[in-house]
Chain A
């Protein structure tokens, strides 16, 4: 008996030790843990602003290691629009226009551009742009690349308004569109518009071998170990001498596990973690050797519902749902409270052109008003399902379930896989769902697909269409090439959609990047950390 007591004690001691070690992780999944600790943190997150000046004494020859969650897919720019791919290959290839932090366009290869008429654009590229194998880039390369992009699938609807891409002379190209398309420069920032020199592209297309890419970007490809790492080194022949890479090399390491990426930066195996898991938030804000950077994203988390479903056909029910949910609490549950609440129904992030956070101040968290609207609609309640495929969404769905219960809607939560989400939508098997949508700065690049017939069966997941809205979207595109009049129309569109309530937008989460405290030049756009070429010590 005595012996058994000894063994049981031993066993318990071991378990306790293991649990204490686990506690060393310091992670907390309590919804408000991050928000509370931010106030008392040793080094709270800083806002990542664009790098304006570089210290003359800075080390511009550092080898920078970046950790990310997923491996890249391919160096073929038209293979996928996956983010883990995009932010690697954009270092190798140049674009006519690069993206700024709001995903708006900023000229890169394009030296100048002008509109010859409403549907014809002319772009002049820089002279003397060298490829990584020493040849000069000409309009032939640009035209060949973009024509291939046009034929590909990755760019989807963004190139649908594009009619012809042609060469004018060795350094000038022309793009004609089917009618006015003010968002063309922004469309040209899409990953699949990367310019690949024609001589390499022809070879790669024939052999289907993209393992040694050649571009004109700031970095030359050096090596890749599939599933492990990608290494690239500074290209000293980059055409824009004033905006060259501020480090000697970039190594992208793939670490799928969130805490593993944090630990890599903590143990100085990596300089920057570009996919930070907020589970480690408390631990890193308490560590003086680390610096967490943040920036609001343009990822709009929203509660969608099938507008063709009999339960959601009545707009009063849809409005009731918008009053029934507490967006702040959902943001606490979804992203530990890190983000900005939005009362919008058009998937506009607050930083998009013409965005209005709460059009007409229509919505707030008001369960009584929600109940009254349900009564006015003559709907006592119904049973439905909330489809989710991500952890954050699943956590939110449980809370939404309780909010809906208050107004008589009995919802069950169903988790599915990412790969079947689109099919579930197409089969009208997602009466309600929670997911996010990444906005471009220019709403023309998503509105027409999100809420018109063009997106039905695709990304118009709420199955909403309205001829009145179609006219307004068309007006916003064609009214002017200037932002101001377009922004006004987008304001009207948001007011219109607030009344229609085709979905309930909840919040925009913050983006994070975890870095070694001495690392400089960390920049984050509304999608992910970016501009890795600016990283230096």
Chain B
């Protein structure tokens, strides 16, 4: 198992390099010039050329990419074209906020989606099951941006219960987690429900019931473990999607996170910052996939055996 983890960690290096190359190339060839943004109305060809030389933008594509990768290998994300400050400092300040929001959304997503999915799977034709499925559909259908604004209007403006912006307390995490998580919770809920429905009809479940095992144990001990495999896959995939969706959540709730920084930097053609954000996000997605694979191994002994660490 240890070998597998180490191998996967090393496999992340080419992934990061590939992400870097692709993003760098796209940014290089995308029309637009950061000097327009920096100089604004004071833009002139001479000033732009001077600024480009200062920022190293007058060098060739290969040289710029080479310098970037050389710095990246040393853990240096470079300097932002716009703020002239180290990108690493900005990421350090903002990425924890993104992680907190994603974690909050994930807790909501799993904490609410999985139990509801289990119950709906066990009682598929109950009113509760149908109502939650409709609510789930609504959750998927409502855009994060709009839902976020509705939540702010209700809970912050009308009721005054929760803060509308920032991320300085547990209370301020609730609305962003709800807005971001509800979209993905429906996925988790529906996947859990359908796999539960499938597992609950298996012979071994019927056998367990015939032997007199109580309903709670049948569901939680016998059925759930097998039903969780597809759910874990969906949760793993959701992490990448949450990192994408967090951009809107951070904007609506004014959270200084990486998603917002990424969009602002794309608009300003601040390539080092865009690369920094995307490299961090790529690492995050790669690690979450690895974690999902490790969890598979713990849930399913057959997979653990394939990794070479289990007894089969």
Which of A's residues lie within 8 Å of B, judged by CB? 3, 7, 10-11, 14-15, 18, 21-22, 24-25, 70-71, 73-74, 76, 79-82, 153-158, 208, 210-211, 225-228, 253-257, 259-260, 263-264, 266-267, 269, 417-423, 437-438, 449, 455, 457-459
Contact = CB atoms under 8 A, between A and B. Distances in A.
Contacts of A422: 33, 36, 43
A260 B45 CA distance: 38
Contacts of A269: 163-165
Contacts of A22: 146, 149-150, 153
29 contacts: A11-B134, A22-B146, A24-B158, A25-B149, A25-B153, A81-B39, A81-B42, A153-B42, A153-B47, A153-B51, A154-B42, A156-B43, A157-B42, A208-B85, A210-B85, A226-B93, A227-B93, A253-B254, A256-B260, A257-B252, A257-B254, A263-B157, A263-B164, A263-B165, A264-B164, A269-B165, A418-B267, A421-B36, A423-B36
B14 interface: no
B130 A7 contact: yes
B241 interface: no
Contacts of A25: 149, 153
A226 B38 contact: no
Contacts of A449: 44
B268 A267 contact: no
B39 A267 contact: no
A438 B83 CA distance: 23
Contacts of B93: 225-227
A73 B131 contact: no
Given A14-B138, A423-B32, A267 B267 contact: no
Contact of B31 (A81, A228, A420): A420
Contact of A459 (B43, B156, B252): B43
A524 to B, nearest CB: 20
A253 B50 CA distance: 33
B91 to A, nearest CB: 10
Given A71-B256, A73-B82, A417-B267, 11 more contacts: A7-B130, A22-B150, A24-B153, A25-B153, A74-B84, A228-B166, A254-B254, A259-B149, A259-B152, A457-B45, A458-B44
Given A255-B165, A458-B44, A459-B41, A79 B84 contact: yes
B33 A3 contact: no
Contact of A18 (B40, B142, B166, B252): B142
Contact of B131 (A10, A260, A437): A10
B66 to A, nearest CB: 22
B111 interface: no
Interface centre among B89, B156, B165, B267 (most CB of A within 10 A): B165
B43 A458 contact: yes
Q: Is the interface of B mostly helix, strand, loop or mixed?
A: helix
Contacts of A76: 84
B64 interface: no
Interface in B103-135: 130-131, 134-135
A420 B29 CA distance: 12
Contacts of A438: 41
Contact of B83 (A21, A73, A228, A457): A73
B160 interface: yes
A226 B40 contact: no
B90 interface: yes
A226 B157 CA distance: 27
Contacts of A79: 38, 83-84
Contacts of A421: 36
A226 B94 CA distance: 7
B152 A260 contact: yes
B100 interface: no
Given A254-B256, A420-B32, A421-B36, A156 B85 contact: no
A3 B130 CA distance: 9
Interface in B45-94: 45, 47, 50-51, 54, 79, 82-85, 89-90, 93-94
B196 interface: no
B1 interface: no
Contact of B138 (A11, A210, A253): A11
B237 interface: no
Given A210-B85, A437-B41, A225 B256 contact: yes
B76 to A, nearest CB: 13
Nearest to A26: B153
B299 interface: no
Query: Which 4 A-B pairs have CB atoms at the shortest separation, nearest pair first?
Result: A156-B42, A227-B256, A419-B32, A228-B256
B261 interface: yes
A263 B156 contact: yes
A519 to B, nearest CB: 19
A260 B254 contact: yes
B15 interface: no
B37 interface: yes
Interface in B225-269: 251-254, 256-257, 260-261, 264, 267-269
B37 A418 contact: yes
Given A24-B153, A227-B260, A80 B32 contact: no
Contacts of B163: 269
A410 B256 CA distance: 44
A208 B32 contact: no
A10 to B, nearest CB: 6
B34 interface: yes
Interface in B165-188: 165-166
Interface string B252-295: 11101100110010011100000000000000000000000000
Nearest to A266: B157
B83 A260 contact: no
B12 interface: no
Contacts of B84: 74, 76, 79, 208, 210
Contacts of B305: none
Nearest to A456: B45
Given A7-B134, A11-B138, A21-B153, A256 B40 contact: no
Contacts of A267: 156-157, 160, 164
A405 B295 CA distance: 65
Contacts of B11: none
A29 B41 CA distance: 29
B154 interface: yes
Given A153-B42, A158-B42, A253 B166 contact: yes
Contacts of B50: 153
Contact of B134 (A10, A263, A420): A10
A74 B85 contact: yes
B39 A153 contact: yes
